[in-house]
Amino acid sequence: MVKKEINNELEYIEKVRKINEGKNLKYYILTMGCQLNENDSEKISGMIEQMGYTLSDDIMDSDLVIYNTCCVRENAEEKLFGKLGEVKKLKEARGTIIAIGGCMMQEKHIVDKIKKSYKYDIIFGTHTLHNFPKDLYNAIIENKKITDILDIDGEIIEGLPIKRNDSIRASVTIMNGCNNFCTYCIVPYVRGRERSRDPEDIIQEVKSLAEQGYKEITLLGQNVNSYMRVEREKGICNTKINSFAKLLRAVNEIEGIEKIRFISPHPKDFTDDVIEAIRDCSKVSKFIHLPLQSGNTRVLKAMNRVYTKDEYLKLVDKMKNMIPEIKFSTDIIVGFPGETDEEFEDTLDVVNKVKFEQIFMFIYSRRLGTPADKMEEQVPENIKHIRFDKLKNLYEELVVENNKEYINTIQKILVEGYSKTNANLLTGRTDTNKVVVFEGKSDLIGKIEDVEIISEHKWYLKGKLI
Ligand code: 5AD
Ligand code: SF4
């Protein structure tokens, strides 16, 4: 494992803190994209708060603005450039420091465009997060623009301060990078190769979260169920917990944690030991994210997903046989290059068969540098939208159909707080991520309660406390 304890970098936290002393400075952070980015932002915020800034939700009242970017789909780019246009005035008026980080900064054409046309102070990538205090120090002291990007895979940095967004649920990154090179996906190019965190560091982090009162842990990575695979293959894995299945079993032992989730796994890495661990570990959620991407075997091959329609369905059947209460969510892309109407029907067929509880639907977005971007038969935008709407309609029918199965059942609900739309009702989620509202007192917040479901309302369920 390539691992580094943070030390020198943190000296800069103290240096910036001294410069900022007594100034009552504010920061604003905008996170785009996935939960890994959210988790990175928690670390960035942890460092920033130690440097004397307090969080502001008003960008116009901030002295430091951080954009933590995503580049998985094109709309994130448009969003960033729009935002950078907006903060220009703030920078001119208040001298606000503008820092742009994350996946998009690992793309040269984007960095070139920012340098040419936008105002910024710091550009940092996915492998240089821990340098942020040093970059900020240099930006303040030298008043010059800093670009801090590494093209090689960064080390796994342990010991960064972290400011968690939630006090009940927490995310714990267990691995960085991806080796799968799905042909549509930019992630392997911007997050580098797979590398796993030392299991002892993960377990320590989860234990400390449990001590702080956290109840639910989500283990994060681009391909979580290949945890430690590369290290095993290279023979550099000198720990007993050398697979995802073993990690799940170890985390399941930690007292105080009541629920364990993980995202994202890859169907190809759902080996029997992983399925058995999910079955055996009482705290591991039986709601599994199983990204499908397409239901058609030819398209799956062109996507380099390394499973067929049949193999995916067989895996679902096997998991249902081994864990009868299991439920699934998925990711689906419509309009991959060359996808025909008939091939798209296969996707609908799999959706009908698996009856996913939740579907994250995406319109294929061309990503520069990926093999799919160079494929000739790009699907016209209007056809992509027609397919998207068809999938969305089917999904909405399925939501109602699935919801009906919940009526009269008793669900364990982690109570999150009062509902935003009705302040008299408490809200929480089922294990399958469905929103449930019910009457109850505030002392239930943060607890897991039995709630009987009494009616369904498409995007939420109504229940009553038992
Ligand atoms: N276009 C559309 N969706 C994409 N995803 C990844 N790359 C692309 C792309 N180029 C989706 C996949 C992945 C999810 C996180 O984002 O479904 O699982
Ligand atoms: Fe992208 Fe595929 Fe890796 Fe997921 S598994 S991050 S879709 S390359």
Q: Helix or strand or coil: residue 414?
A: strand
Give the span between the Cα atoms of 371 and 163, in whole angstroms: 38
Report whether residue 181 contacts ligand 2, using a CB cutoff of 6 Å: yes
pLDDT tens digits along 327-370: 999 999 999 999 999 999 999 999 999 999 999 999 999 999 99
Mean local confidence (pLDDT), 431-442: 95
pLDDT of 125: 92
pLDDT of 262: 98
What is the helix (H) or strand (E) element at residue 135, kind and residue range? Answer: helix 132-142
Which residues lie below 8 Å from residue 374, measured CB to CB, with a gap of 6+?
Answer: none
Which residues lie below 8 Å from residue 57, measured CB to CB, with a gap of 6+?
Answer: 28
Ligand nearest to the CA of 371: 1
Report whether residue 120 contacts ligand 1, using a CB cutoff of 6 Å: no
Question: For residue 6, is pLDDT > 70?
Answer: no
pLDDT of 157: 85
pLDDT tens digits along 260-283: 999 999 999 999 999 999 999 999
End-to-end CA, the chain: 48
Which two tokens mark 204?
């320590």
Look at the alpha carbons of 264, 204, 192, 64 in this order and tell me if their dihedral is positive or negative.
positive
pLDDT of 77: 87
Report whether residue 329 contacts ligand 1, using a CB cutoff of 6 Å: no
Ligand nearest to the CA of 187: 2
Question: For residue 436, is pLDDT > 80?
Answer: yes
The alpha carbon of 185 and the centre of ligand 2 are apart by a number of angstroms equal to 6
pLDDT band at 76 (very low <50, low <70, confident <90, very high): confident
Report whether residue 365 contacts ligand 1, using a CB cutoff of 6 Å: yes
Question: For residue 34, is pLDDT > 70?
Answer: yes
Question: For residue 107, is pLDDT > 90?
Answer: yes
Question: For residue 1, is pLDDT > 70?
Answer: no
The alpha carbon of 193 and the centre of ligand 2 are apart by a number of angstroms equal to 11
Q: Helix or strand or coil: residue 320?
A: helix
Report whether residue 360 contacts ligand 2, using a CB cutoff of 6 Å: no
Report whether residue 222 contacts ligand 2, using a CB cutoff of 6 Å: yes
pLDDT of 153: 76
> Do the beta carbons of residue 56 and residue 27 sit within 8 Å?
yes
> Do the beta carbons of residue 156 and residue 139 sit within 8 Å?
no
Kindly give the interhelix angle for 309-322 and 341-354, rounded to the nearest 10 degrees: 0
Q: Helix or strand or coil: residue 102?
A: strand
Give the span between the Cα atoms of 425 and 420, in whole angstroms: 9
User: Residue 219: what are its φ and ψ, rounded to 5°?
Assistant: -85, 130
pLDDT band at 101 (very low <50, low <70, confident <90, very high): very high
pLDDT band at 236 (very low <50, low <70, confident <90, very high): confident
Quote the mean pLDDT of the chain.
Answer: 94
Residue from 103, 294, 307, 333 to probe ligand 1 pocket by mutation (most atoms less than 8 Å from CB): 333
Ligand nearest to the CA of 269: 2
pLDDT of 238: 83
Which residues lie below 8 Å from residue 55, measured CB to CB, with a gap of 6+?
Answer: 26, 27, 28, 29, 45, 49
Mean local confidence (pLDDT), 132-138: 95
pLDDT of 353: 98
Which residues lie below 8 Å from residue 393, measured CB to CB, with a gap of 6+?
Answer: none
Matching residue, tokens 């009062």:
418
Query: Residue 291 CA: which ligand 1 atom is closest?
Result: 18
pLDDT of 349: 98
Closest CA to 12 of 140, 149, 120: 140
> Do the beta carbons of residue 363 and residue 323 sit within 8 Å?
no
Question: For residue 143, is pLDDT > 70?
Answer: yes
For residue 339, the cross-strand partners are none
Report whether residue 367 contacts ligand 1, using a CB cutoff of 6 Å: yes
Matching residue, tokens 């408490």:
426
Region of poorest pLDDT, from 143-147, 148-152, 160-164, 240-244: 148-152
pLDDT tens digits along 289-319: 999 999 999 999 999 999 999 999 999 999 9
Query: Which residue has the CA at smallest separation from atom 2 of ligand 1?
Result: 364
Buried b (16+ CB within 10 A) or exposed e, 154-169: bbbbeebbbbbeeebb
Q: Helix or strand or coil: residue 240?
A: coil
Query: Residue 191 CA: which ligand 2 atom is closest?
Result: 6
**One-letter amino acid of 324:** P
Give the DSSP letter of residue 455: E
Report whether residue 72 contacts ligand 1, using a CB cutoff of 6 Å: yes
Report whether residue 154 contacts ligand 1, using a CB cutoff of 6 Å: no
Query: Residue 34 CA: which ligand 1 atom is closest?
Result: 15
Ligand nearest to the CA of 181: 2
Give the span between the Cα atoms of 96 and 170, in whole angstroms: 31
> Do the beta carbons of residue 296 and residue 346 sit within 8 Å?
yes
Of 86 and 314, the one with more pLDDT: 314
> Do the beta carbons of residue 1 and residue 67 sit within 8 Å?
no
Mean local confidence (pLDDT), 137-154: 88
